[in-house]
Structure 1
Amino acid sequence: MADECPKCPDGLPPWLATFADLMSLLMCFFVLLLSFAEIDAARFKKMAESMKDAFGVQREIPVMDVVKGTSVVMQEFSPGKPEPTPIEELRQQTTDVEKDFLQSEDQRSEAEEQQDLDIDVAKAAMQAQIEEEVEEQAEELQEMLDSEISEGLLDVETEDTKIIIRIQEKGSFPSGRATLNPDFFEVISKITDVIANTPGKIIVAGHTDNIPISTRRFRSNWELSSARAVTVVHAMLSNAAIDEGRFLIQGYADSQPLVVNDTSENRAQNRRVELVIQRGEDEDSGEVIKASEQ
């Protein structure tokens, strides 16, 4: 029976099936690439010509327009016409009440400026008057203390609204002590008679030279200068006509010399007690304000 069955003819070789599958896959791959790509007409025509030469004659399709890619955005959306956005203008209007208020504010500011100007003018006039009075009082002191000034015991000078009376150590204090010489009380009495009738703050400041001092009574020049200023104030307060609330006592030691402490003459000049009558700060402020208000 087996010999009676006809022999089947030989089929295609086995590798041909694998080759066919490979060609099919390559064709699908290129088809997908072609579907994803954008067609360039010029390059497509060249490719078609090369394919015609390779695979035979193809039908020619006339291309009227250049094939371009399609944009989804252009298909679904269209540009809108821009419309200008109106800008709202806010304008402030001033009412009559506000106008009156602004005018009153302007008038008030002008009045304040005029008042400040009047105060400045009154202060300048008062300053000039005080300086004139200071010069007259300084001249009166110089006439009363002419002999002491000639002997070099005192110096009287002015600085703006200040009268400065410098009491030198010569004739007033023994060296290194804070006790007034008995003969100098008469000089202090003359000064006090004039200062009692002169308004203003009285600053009594003691000064020394740069030679250190260290005794049982004074540990330094600071104590010596302060003690001499206190001694002068006590001598002046013997006159009941002068108010003790006007005094201000200061001790500077050798911190404010008049001249350089390089010779004995200069050091003697720096050893002093200064009486400074200060005008124009407190006692005249009320008069200036009253003058400006008038």
Structure 2
Amino acid sequence: MSNEEEDDCKCEPGLPPWMGTFADLMSLLMCFFVLLLSFSEMDAMKFKRLAGSMAQAFGVQNKLNVTDIPKGTSIIAQEFSPGRPEPTPLNEIWQKTQDITEMSMEQYCVEEYDIEQGDEGYDAGVKLRVKQALQDLLSQTEADAYQLAGALNEQIVAGQVEIETRGRLIIIRIREKGSFISGSAEMSPSYKDVMREVRSVLALKKGKIEVQGHTDDIPIKTSRFRSNWELSSSRAVSVAHELMLGGDISERRFEVAGFSNTVPLAPNDSAENRARNRRVEILVKQGLEDELAEEDLKLLKDDKEGEDILRELDIAPEYLFDLEPEEIF
């Protein structure tokens, strides 16, 4: 090559001009595909079902006659106005699984998904809200007990009546002193006035009412009562009848039980302790079922989360719920 030809071939330094345009085009294409990906919806459940279908039913599909070509929908036309979704033919025709197989595969995938997801537990805010709601209900129970104590102040001072609260449970304990004649289930006239005061307060309060009769361990056998079981039950029935007078309290709220000497407050080893054990107790079970939502009750009954809340408030579950013995944790 001559020197003149070398002088005519003057190449500019750097990349050729077309490379800039090409790079811009590639960048725009990449942005376009990123936008397409962002418009799509990733459904974990559908993905799991698809994976489960492949794992559970691979090789059991059957061919069906196809009367029309399967069609898809343009995502650009679907997501952006004024575009209209137009069906676009697909090149492949897929087999369809039988309905019964689809149901089994779907169930399999849902169970697998649940197992892999695991239990996320309860949100801390939810637990705090339920705990606060429970504290408010316990405070309301305390207020109801104070109202009863105010109505029965004279009998409480005289040692004839005791009032106690345990969780959402109010216990009105009627001592035998002056309430029943020894060996009898007939209530003394003075105690009927006490029952009238109790009835007027309980008529305004919610909750089930259980009347329990208790005796000491000294056996009884008379023409009227064959054992302490009959005596304790009869005394409980007498108190329940007094509370039902006038129809202010529905009979459906009542439960009556006699426990004989099986639930003593103190050992039956002295006359004083035996007198303390001879009693009738009125249990007002205010409960939680009518006060809290179903999800909140489920949290409180949870073996871990609910137990933690009740432990913090120092409450046993039997004082909140009507639990069977095997349900008490």
Tell me if TM exceeds 0.5.
yes
Structure 1 SS opposite 2:247: coil
2:103 equivalent in structure 1: none
Counterpart selection for 1:243 from 222, 244, 250 = 250
Counterpart selection for 2:259 from 252, 258, 261 = 252
Q: Which runs of 5+ in 2 are unaligned?
A: 1-41, 50-109, 298-329
Paired amino acid for 1:184: Y
Structure of greater Rg? 1
CA separation in 2, counterparts of 1:111 and 1:129?
Answer: 33
8 Å CA contact 2:186, 2:235 repeated in 1 = yes
Structure 2 SS opposite 1:230: helix
2:187 equivalent in structure 1: 180
- Tell me the alpha carbon deviations over residues 186-205 of structure 1, each in whole angstroms, 9 at most, x when there is no partner: 10011111111111111110
Quick one: higher RCO (CA 8 Å, sep 6+), 1 or 2?
1
CA separation in 2, counterparts of 1:98 and 1:164?
Answer: 53
CA RMSD after TM alignment: 3.1
Question: Deviation at 1:144?
Answer: 1.1
1:130 equivalent in structure 2: 137
CA separation in 1, counterparts of 2:126 and 2:287?
Answer: 14
2:150 equivalent in structure 1: 143
CA separation in 2, counterparts of 1:198 and 1:111?
Answer: 42
Paired amino acid for 1:233: A
Residues 113 and 247 (structure 1 numbering): CA distance in 2 closer, same or farther, change over 3 Å? Answer: farther
8 Å CA contact 2:130, 2:296 repeated in 1 = no
Paired amino acid for 2:194: V
Structure 2 SS opposite 1:255: coil
Matched, 1:288 2:293: yes
Question: Deviation at 1:123?
Answer: 4.1
CA separation in 2, counterparts of 1:270 and 1:99?
Answer: 62
Question: Deviation at 1:129?
Answer: 1.9
**1:162-181 alignment, distance < 5 Å:** 162-181=169-188
2:159 equivalent in structure 1: 152
Residues 99 and 155 (structure 1 numbering): CA distance in 2 closer, same or farther, change over 3 Å? Answer: closer
Matched, 1:276 2:283: yes
Paired amino acid for 1:138: A
8 Å CA contact 1:229, 1:273 repeated in 2 = yes
Matched, 1:221 2:224: no
CA separation in 1, counterparts of 2:229 and 2:296?
Answer: 44
2:270 equivalent in structure 1: 263
Paired amino acid for 1:139: Y
Residues 291 and 183 (structure 1 numbering): CA distance in 2 closer, same or farther, change over 3 Å? Answer: same
8 Å CA contact 1:199, 1:283 repeated in 2 = no
Structure 2 SS opposite 1:126: helix
CA separation in 2, counterparts of 1:132 and 1:156?
Answer: 15
What count of residue pairs does the alignment treat as equivalent? 195
Q: Which runs of 5+ in 1 are unaligned?
A: 1-95
Paired amino acid for 1:289: E
Residues 206 and 290 (structure 1 numbering): CA distance in 2 closer, same or farther, change over 3 Å? Answer: same
Structure 2 SS opposite 1:238: helix
CA separation in 2, counterparts of 1:118 and 1:110?
Answer: 21
Question: Deviation at 1:126?
Answer: 3.3
CA separation in 2, counterparts of 1:123 and 1:188?
Answer: 36
